[in-house]
């Protein structure tokens, strides 16, 4: 496969251009504690990482990288093989990147994020992970002059859950790739993608960057190549003006480096007990364990197949197949065919950190919850445990949506409020009649308290009935107040419907935008500028959920 446009990657954009870009957006940070859509573990790690000190090697701070760098310097990485694989992969997609050879230097390290090859990158957080990683690498390069740091994106093409990666949502539509193939998604053919890509091309319209996106899709997805390779080309082209390097890890030479750990997993099953102990301790802290542990946390991987390996009566069987190996036979497979062994979620972090000179992993809250269970594994295999950094979360408001927000008079700091509560607040603020009965409620409560006191003085047993009457009366009075708001709402049905529609667009299905919507509509409007503003603002070491609002002029 050869892309139609070759490039040599550059770093960043001129400062004067960047300043112009940044003035087009307003940034607001909302405390994670205010976001009900994220889990307790996620919120606590993002805001109080020190409470997880037993499960991390370094605090996720700029200062925490000093020790991480020293720990990495002590461990040898096969840089020659890594660089050779990257060149081979980039040559296959017709691309050159001057940053790859930097990885040969012993004082050059990586910060990494990873994801499955979701169709056209899937939900927005896919892009946010990458931009957070690029920002972090640049920040570390500014801070630690004795080393250089490279952002790396790993395509998790060995995953076999096709339904997780075969769709993308934008323009109110869902674009779904149908395929009869099975096994690792990165090894699937793109031949069956033509129909869904044609559907995507039909809706791109005449936006400023429609032709650029159409050309990119045509270059990456119209030939009959492996899907992992197509997605690698797509990501490389999207971030061609940055120093990002994109790696597929489904390579025999890289797998060969991981085989000592694979052989230990087959013979000793060490990981299960190590992770289970951490899970027990995390559960005692009040958090839910993440990974489902198996005795052997490996898959057997061939085309159209990625099935679990189990030990049954002294033989290693591949679940749901007729394949079966003696101990001698399966150990021979690890030497002759390392590409046939695929780590599951419990082993994948070890594989990643074995082949990369890595300092940090940047991921979402769910991912980091898995990583928190891994420190003992890393210590056992004498692999440095990376700094765990939560990626930035973003609510992106386009210029058009910004106009609607202002017209509807919805404060930006209240966007994460419950829509029903926000509608009630809006009605109270704009109603022709006074709807706030809080002062009247206080008067009623005060009067009832006086009656209760008189009842207690006369007959304490009767006072209980008066107290119950007070509770009931206050409840009914509060109900009347809510009824007043509902009645007033009926006078603003048009505006209420617009507010609900506005929230429906910003929070698809009531969930976070970044977990549903694809990046393409924003790219069609802003082009590469969309990535530039994200990279500039998405510092994963700064706390808070980012609201990024495009100024509509």
For residue range 190-238, list pLDDT tens digits in order.
988 999 999 999 999 988 899 999 999 999 997 778 999 999 999 999 9
Look at residue 417 in the predicted model and tell me its pLDDT: 86
Residue 227: how many CB atoms within 10 A of its CB?
A: 27
The answer to whether the pTM exceeds 0.75 is: yes
Look at residue 489 in the predicted model and tell me its pLDDT: 54
Looking at mean pLDDT, say which of 386-395, 490-499, 544-553 comes out highest.
Answer: 386-395
Give the lowest-confidence range in 34-38, 179-183, 461-465, 483-487.
Answer: 483-487
Residue that the structure tokens 């050159």 belong to:
96
Look at residue 63 in the predicted model and tell me its pLDDT: 95
Look at residue 447 in the predicted model and tell me its pLDDT: 86
Residue 34, pLDDT above cutoff 50: yes
| CA distance linking residue 482 with residue 479, whole number of Å | 5
Paired tokens of 101: 């050879």
Look at residue 427 in the predicted model and tell me its pLDDT: 65
Look at residue 446 in the predicted model and tell me its pLDDT: 85
Question: In 3-state terms, what secondary structure has residue 174?
Answer: strand
Paired tokens of 409: 């008079």
For 334-348, the pLDDT digits (tens) are 999 999 999 999 999
Query: Can you say whether the dihedral through the CA atoms of 154, 159, 163, 166 is positive or negative?
Result: positive
Write the DSSP string, 195-246. Answer: HHHHHHHHT-TT-TTHHHHHHHHHHHHSSS-BHHHHHHHHHHHHTTTS--EE
Identify which of 186, 158, 515 has the alpha carbon closest to the alpha carbon of residue 352.
158
| CA distance linking residue 109 with residue 69, whole number of Å | 8
| CA distance linking residue 188 with residue 467, whole number of Å | 70
> What average pLDDT does the chain have?
90
Length of the chain: 553
| CA distance linking residue 179 with residue 388, whole number of Å | 36
For 426-461, the pLDDT digits (tens) are 666 665 555 565 777 787 788 888 888 888 888 777
Q: How many CA atoms lie within 13 A of 431 on its CB side?
A: 18
Paired tokens of 300: 């057997």
**Rounded percentage of the chain residues whose pLDDT exceeds 90:** 74
Regarding predicted confidence, which is higher, 426 or 464? 464
Residue 286: how many CB atoms within 10 A of its CB?
A: 9
Strand partners, 308: 299
For 294-311, the pLDDT digits (tens) are 999 999 999 899 999 999
Identify which of 214, 175, 218 has the alpha carbon closest to the alpha carbon of residue 4.
218
Mean predicted confidence (pLDDT) in 386-412: 94
Residue that the structure tokens 């040969």 belong to:
104
List of residues 6+ apart from 224 with CB closer than 8 A = 189, 190, 191
Identify which of 271, 248, 251 has the alpha carbon closest to the alpha carbon of residue 338.
251
Strand partners, 546: 29, 394
**Whole-Å CA distances, 285 to 33, 43, 536:** 19, 14, 36
For 87-124, the pLDDT digits (tens) are 999 999 999 899 999 999 999 999 999 999 999 999 99
Look at residue 471 in the predicted model and tell me its pLDDT: 87
| CA distance linking residue 479 with residue 245, whole number of Å | 59
């Amino acid at each position: 496969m050869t892309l139609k446009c070759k490039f040599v990657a550059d770093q960043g954009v001129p400062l004067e251009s960047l300043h112009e870009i940044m003035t087009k957006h307003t940034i607001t940070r909302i405390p994670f504690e205010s976001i009900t859509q994220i889990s307790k573990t996620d919120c606590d790690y993002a805001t109080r990482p020190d409470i997880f000190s037993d499960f991390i090697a370094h605090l996720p701070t700029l200062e925490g990288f000093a020790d991480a760098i020293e720990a990495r310097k002590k461990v040898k990485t096969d840089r020659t093989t890594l660089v050779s694989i990257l060149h081979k992969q980039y040559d296959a997609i017709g691309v050159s990147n001057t940053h790859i050879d930097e990885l040969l230097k012993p004082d050059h390290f990586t910060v990494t994020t990873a994801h499955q090859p979701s169709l056209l990158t899937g939900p927005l957080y896919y892009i946010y992970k990458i931009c957070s990683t690029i920002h972090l690498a640049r920040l570390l390069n500014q801070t630690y002059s004795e080393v250089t740091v490279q952002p790396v994106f790993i395509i998790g093409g060995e995953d076999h859950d096709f339904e997780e990666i075969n769709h993308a949502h934008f323009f109110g539509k869902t674009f779904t790739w149908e395929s009869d193939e099975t096994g690792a998604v990165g090894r699937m053919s793109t031949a069956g993608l033509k129909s869904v890509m044609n559907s995507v091309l039909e809706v791109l319209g005449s936006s400023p960057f429609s032709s650029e996106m159409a050309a990119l899709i045509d270059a990456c997805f119209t030939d009959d190549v492996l899907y992992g390779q197509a997605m690698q080309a797509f990501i490389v082209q999207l971030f061609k003006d940055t120093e990002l390097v994109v790696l597929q890890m489904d390579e025999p030479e890289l797998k060969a480096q991981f085989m000592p750990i694979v052989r230990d997993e087959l013979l000793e099953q060490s990981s299960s007990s190590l992770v289970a102990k951490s899970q027990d301790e995390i559960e005692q802290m009040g958090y839910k364990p993440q990974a489902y542990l198996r005795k052997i946390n490996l898959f057997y991987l061939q085309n159209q197949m990625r099935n679990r390996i189990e030990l049954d009566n002294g033989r290693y069987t591949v679940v749901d197949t007729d394949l079966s190996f003696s101990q001698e036979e399966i150990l021979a497979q690890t030497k002759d065919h390392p590409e046939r062994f695929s780590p599951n979620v419990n082993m994948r972090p070890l594989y990643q950190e074995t082949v990369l000179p890595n300092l940090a992993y940047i991921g979402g809250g769910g991912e980091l919850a898995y990583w928190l269970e891994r420190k003992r594994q890393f210590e056992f295999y004498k692999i440095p445990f990376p700094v765990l950094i939560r990626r930035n979360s973003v609510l992106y408001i386009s210029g058009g949506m910004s106009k609607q927000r202002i017209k509807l008079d919805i404060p930006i700091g209240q966007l994460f409020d419950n829509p029903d509560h926000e509608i009630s607040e809006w009605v109270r603020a704009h109603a022709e009649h006074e709807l706030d009965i809080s002062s009247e409620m206080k008067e009623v409560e005060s009067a009832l308290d006086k009656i209760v006191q008189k009842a207690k003085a006369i007959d304490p047993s009767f006072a209980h009935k008066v107290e119950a009457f007070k509770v009931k009366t206050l409840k009914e009075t509060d109900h009347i107040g809510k009824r007043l708001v509902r009645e007033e709402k009926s006078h603003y049905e048009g505006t209420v419907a617009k507010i609900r529609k506005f929230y429906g667009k910003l929070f698809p299905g009531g969930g976070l935008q970044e977990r549903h919507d694809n990046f393409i509509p924003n790219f069609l409007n802003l082009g590469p500028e969309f990535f530039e503003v994200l990279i500039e603002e998405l510092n994963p070491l700064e706390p808070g959920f980012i609201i990024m609002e495009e100024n509509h002029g």
